[in-house]
Amino acid sequence: MKSRFLFPHKWRLVGYCCFAATMVFAIALKLLHPEGYVYADLHQVPGSGHHLQPDTIIDQGTRWHNDIITSLIILGLVLIAFSKEKIEDEQISQLRLDSLQWATYLNYAIFFICVLFIYGVHFIPVLIFNTISPLIFFIIRFRWKIHLLNSPLRNEEENR
């Protein structure tokens, strides 16, 4: 059983760099505009009166950095998630498949709960977060399982 469609092992580093860059950018944005940069932009629109006009809000928020940040974070997470391990064997492939399915299930389960309990404008952040959450769940579970596999305690217990 061979793993296909995977990136070389070294590319994971690139992934981490992309992810770190996005995080730094997000934190910087948060420090510069604590109340949310979309609303900060809205204040600068002459005569906007801070009305909640959907088009204005979204358009003001949509700048070049939005595109770049979305692309970068997805690229980073995909590279982290789907880079080859140093040793790709049967067990790692099995873990990968399991984790991918598990992440999909968990993601949709959380999505159900959000659909039931969150309405209206507040649902938009749920949708946005939903684009990257499967990858995050996958990475966490895959890493955790590999950690368990590698931990010497576990190996000793199995040998007895």
Partner 1 sequence: MKSRFLFPHKWMVPGIVLFLTGIAVHFINQSTTDPAGIFQKIHPFFPGIDMQVLADDVEYLSLVIGLLLIAFSKEKIEDEQIVKLRTDSLQWAIYVNYGIFIICTIFINGMDYLGVVAYNVLTPLLFFIIRFRWKIYQLNRAVVKEEVVS
Q: Which is nearer to partner 1, 31 or 89 (CB)?
A: 89
- Joined together, the tokens standing for residue 114 give 């959000």
CB of 62 to partner 1, least distance (A): 5
- Joined together, the tokens standing for residue 64 give 């070049």
CB of 155 to partner 1, least distance (A): 21
Neighbours of 95 (CB within 10 A): 17
Name which position in 65, 98, 122, 155 contacts partner 1 (CB under 8 A). Answer: 98
For residue 89, state whether it binds partner 1 (rule: CB under 8 A).
no
Name which position in 17, 101, 122, 148 contacts partner 1 (CB under 8 A). Answer: 101
Q: Which is nearer to partner 1, 4 or 10 (CB)?
A: 4
- Nearest CA to 150 out of 82, 158, 103 is that of 158
What are residue 35's phi and psi, to 5 degrees? Answer: -90, 10
The interface region with partner 1, picked from 24-32, 42-50, 111-119, 152-160 by CB under 8 A, is 111-119
Residue 56 burial by Cβ neighbours in a 10 Å radius (0-12, 13-18, 19+): middle
Q: Which 35-74 positions form the footprint of partner 1 (CB under 8 A)?
A: 54-55, 58-59, 62, 66-67, 70-71, 74
CA–CA separation, 22 vs 14, rounded Å? Answer: 13
- Nearest CA to 102 out of 61, 134, 148, 58 is that of 134
CA–CA separation, 114 vs 139, rounded Å? Answer: 22
* Residues lying near partner 1 in the complex (CB under 8 A): 1, 3-6, 54-55, 58-59, 62, 66-67, 70-71, 74-75, 78, 82, 90, 93-94, 96-98, 100-102, 104-105, 108, 111-112, 115-116, 119, 124, 127-128, 130-131, 134-135
